[in-house]
Structure 1
Amino acid sequence: MRVIVIGAGEVGSSIADNLSGSHEVVVIDIDTERAESLTYELDVLSLAGDGTDIDVLEEAGVESADIVIASTDDDETNVVACGTAKAVSDAFTIARVKRPKYLRTWQRSEQAFNVDFMICTDLLTANAIVGVIGFPTAQDVDMFASGAVQMTEFKIPGDSPVANQTVAEADCFEELTFAAIIREDDIVIPTGQTRIEPGDEVVVIGNPESARAFSAAIAPRRNGPKDIVIVGGSEIGYQVARLLEERGFSPRLIERDADRARWIAEHLDDTLVLESDATDRDFLARERVGEADALVAALENDQQNLLATLLAKRIGTDRAVAVVDTADFADLFEAVGVDVAISPREVTAEEIIRFTHSQRTENVSMIEGDRAEVIEVEVDADSVLAGERISDAAARLPNVVFGAITRNGEFITPRGDTVVEPGDHVILFAETETVEEVADLV
């Protein structure tokens, strides 16, 4: 597959890096030095130029491209680049935008802007934040099979009842599969005798109710959040509050700018908007932010978000989630005390990459910075899985975990004697280096 990526920032570079091993990738960036550096860093062809310029696109071979991904930091540039690519090719076009207004227009008519698929970074990030807030020790949450299946990555605290249990002892849930254990630099495919150690990150796949029950087993004294504080009225902060309202929460939102605070208050009925500086300790004490169940830092830069979350943790806030624009900082944030660091760029790259897998791949979730993936595949009659028992299929697909199956919307827990049928949606866990091969086979 020939893929053209426009924009070599963190999102574009991450996408190019992920695809370069199995696809022909061309990266276009207006910055000559950045474009040239990619040639040495990644196995891609790089081109310095304007991705909205038809001559540049033709030099990149757009006429033979299968996919064009516009992922610069400018919404208008991405939309125009996709339209230009469509004018001279049949490539599938994907535009990354930050502001939801373009997404709303595109959703009215999916032919708008000549964009085949549009991804809104801020809305994706807000959904990721709201997903992890509901689970006290969750590091990542993704939904599959139209919400019937959930992948959750839990970090096991040292004082958890689950710590030091074997998988067989911890697995008390009929509709849950323990897919992997991430232990420092290792990914362990667990057996019943694998022991869960403090600090492990456990990846489970199952129905949402079972995932919630396992969360309660990990931290039985920590209920779901009731009091949620959002720091920063950025677009991400606003979208988090809006999504929380849709789920029945009444969050508090702290915004320093008077005009922005007023606008948010006028547009959110069940959110209490407080105009103040979130680093003012006297204000935080008066508003009892330290008693909040969760705090989300969605300010304009990483330094402010780190300061806000660490200050909240110091005064007693139970759980702190920070938005991290620089993806490489995410591990640092979590190392110094932030419970979860969410990178908008990683969330966006994950959503885009699923379009480059096999046509049968419906959804993708990247684990641990793209070391492993959970994929959803719709099985057709030509698949090696069709008519096969799970035990036989697993022998042909080593190091692949069958996490869940849905059939006609019904959840099925995969067991060794379960027979896969055409039309089934199968959710699999695999290390990234084997995902393409697995997706092509199944």
Structure 2
Amino acid sequence: MRVVIVGAGAVGRTIAENLADGHDVIVVDQDEDIVEELTYEHDVLSIAGDGTELGTLRDAEVGEADMVIACTDSDETNVVVCGATKTESDAFTIARVRRRTLLETWQGSEGAFGVDFMVCTDLLTAQAIFRITGLPAARDVDMFAGGLVRMAEFEISPDSAVAGQTVQEADRYDSLTFAAVFRDDEMLVATGKTMIRDGDRIVVIGSPESITQFANEVAGTIDNGSKDVVIVGASEIGIQAAREFEEHGHRLRMIERDPERAREAAEDLPNTMVLQSDATDTDFLKREHIDEADVLVAALDSDEKNLLAALLAHRVGVERTVAVIENVEYAALFETVGVDVVINPREETAEEIVRFTRAARTEKVAMLEHDRAEVIEIEVGPGSTLTGKPIAEATNDLPDGVVIGAISRGGDLITPRGTTIVKPGDHVVVFVDAGILDEVIDLL
């Protein structure tokens, strides 16, 4: 497939890296330094120019493209790129936008703006926040096989019930597969002898019920479902996240310093108590009993403010903190100093677009540890390496770095074991080292 990507920021780069091996990729950006850097770093053709201009699109040969992805930081630019593309090509167009109102306008008018598929960054981020905070100690959560299978990544604390155990000792769940362990900068494919240590990040795949049981053991708590949630910042992400929590009946408070934004948030969120104040005022936090919250989400307009809000919340006693970050390079710093979960909107967007571009080969994609590994769902055919053989035998034909996490067959969940035989038509959820992803997809 020939893919043109307009915008070489964090989203565009991630998409280009994921597609470069299996497709012809052309990247367009106005910054000549970025274009030169991409040319040397990745197997892509890079063009310096304005993607809203027909001359630039013609230089990128959009007339021959199968797909055009507009992912600059400007909603308007991305929509214009898609519209301009349609004057030159029948390529499938994808536009990345931040504003949900623009997404709703597009959804209400099929084919509007020349956009075939629209991805809303703020909505995706809000949904990710809701998913992750639904499980104690989770760092990442995603659903597969229509909700039948869940993938989750957890950080192991010294008090965790599984700390100091081997995977074999910890494997006491009806439908759960231990996929991998991330330890510092190392990734280990989980085996029965793998030791689970304090500080490890462990990836498990299985039924929602088993994942929830495991989460409760990892965190040492029982999740009763309903949560007391505090959101700091009436940003677009903060508003969207509040709506997600409202829809599921959680107790919700929002802190917004700006009086006008606080008033608008109170009007938009009927089931949220909006407090007009400064979330960095510790006296206010104590007076309003913010320490009793189960989760605090920092969704302000800067990474630095979100870091401060999350750390102060921890200081007054909030159980769990989530911070939105724009600069993915800050993720390790935030986690090191005590923020429980960091979510990068650009990574959420890139993951959704990559999932869509792979629709012909995979059903679902989830990226882990800033794209060091992926969990994919794929429907196996008669020619798959897995088909017709016990998994213990079939996996001998796969490279190292692959774990079969779950199988969906006719709406039923099958927990894979060495003797399990995969059949044509099965949906298989697989953990894969990102470095061998294309090879593995070809084999599956």
Report TM bin, short chain.
Answer: over 0.9
Task: Tell me the amino acid that sits aligned with residue 414 of structure 2.
Answer: I
Corresponding residue of 1:412? 414
Corresponding residue of 2:210? 210
Corresponding residue of 2:350? 349
Q: Does 1:35 align with 2:35?
A: yes
Q: Secondary structure at the match of 1:295?
A: strand
Q: Secondary structure at the match of 1:236?
A: helix
CA deviations over 1:327-358 (Å, ceiling 9, x no partner): 11111111111111110011111111123437
Of 427, 430, 437, the residue aligned with 1:428 is 430
Task: Tell me the amino acid that sits aligned with residue 278 of structure 2.
Answer: D
Task: Tell me the amino acid that sits aligned with residue 425 of structure 2.
Answer: G
Per-residue deviation, 1:113: 2.4
**Pairs within 5 Å for 1:257-276:** 257-276=258-277
**Pairs within 5 Å for 1:195-344:** 195-221=195-221, 223=223, 226-344=227-345
Corresponding residue of 1:386? 387
Corresponding residue of 1:23? 23
Task: Tell me the amino acid that sits aligned with residue 242 of structure 2.
Answer: A
CA-based RMSD of the aligned residues comes to 1.7
Is the 2:70–2:81 contact (alpha carbons within 8 Å) kept by the matching residues of 1? yes
The whole-number CA distance in structure 1 between the counterparts of 2:409 and 2:221 is: 36
Q: Secondary structure at the match of 1:273?
A: strand
Task: Tell me the amino acid that sits aligned with residue 46 of structure 2.
Answer: S
Per-residue deviation, 1:87: 2.5
Per-residue deviation, 1:216: 0.9
Task: Tell me the amino acid that sits aligned with residue 434 of structure 2.
Answer: T
CA distance change for structure 1 residues 380 and 109 in 2, over 3 Å: closer, same or farther?
farther
What residue ranges of structure 1 are gaps of 5+ in the alignment?
A: none
Q: Secondary structure at the match of 1:435?
A: helix
CA deviations over 1:136-169 (Å, ceiling 9, x no partner): 2111001111111111000000121210111111
CA deviations over 1:375-397 (Å, ceiling 9, x no partner): 01122344333334322321211
Corresponding residue of 1:403? 405
CA distance change for structure 1 residues 256 and 65 in 2, over 3 Å: closer, same or farther?
same
Per-residue deviation, 1:222: 5.7
CA distance change for structure 1 residues 418 and 136 in 2, over 3 Å: closer, same or farther?
same
Is the 2:21–2:438 contact (alpha carbons within 8 Å) kept by the matching residues of 1? no
Is the 2:385–2:397 contact (alpha carbons within 8 Å) kept by the matching residues of 1? no
Is the 1:156–1:197 contact (alpha carbons within 8 Å) kept by the matching residues of 2? yes
The whole-number CA distance in structure 1 between the counterparts of 2:52 and 2:390 is: 50
Corresponding residue of 2:165? 165
CA distance change for structure 1 residues 356 and 287 in 2, over 3 Å: closer, same or farther?
same
Q: Secondary structure at the match of 1:251?
A: strand
Corresponding residue of 1:11? 11
**Pairs within 5 Å for 1:86-165:** 86-165=86-165
Q: How many residues align?
A: 442
TM-score of the aligned structures, taking structure 1 as reference length: 0.96
Per-residue deviation, 1:204: 0.3
Name the stretch that deviates more: 250-259 or 101-110: 101-110
The whole-number CA distance in structure 2 between the counterparts of 1:317 and 1:247 is: 21
Is the 1:357–1:436 contact (alpha carbons within 8 Å) kept by the matching residues of 2? no
Per-residue deviation, 1:418: 2.1
Corresponding residue of 1:64? 64
TM-score of the aligned structures, taking structure 2 as reference length: 0.95
Task: Tell me the amino acid that sits aligned with residue 265 of structure 2.
Answer: I
CA distance change for structure 1 residues 116 and 423 in 2, over 3 Å: closer, same or farther?
farther
Moved over 6 A (4+): none
Per-residue deviation, 1:95: 0.9
Is the 1:27–1:47 contact (alpha carbons within 8 Å) kept by the matching residues of 2? yes
The whole-number CA distance in structure 2 between the counterparts of 1:392 and 1:198 is: 33
Per-residue deviation, 1:23: 2.9
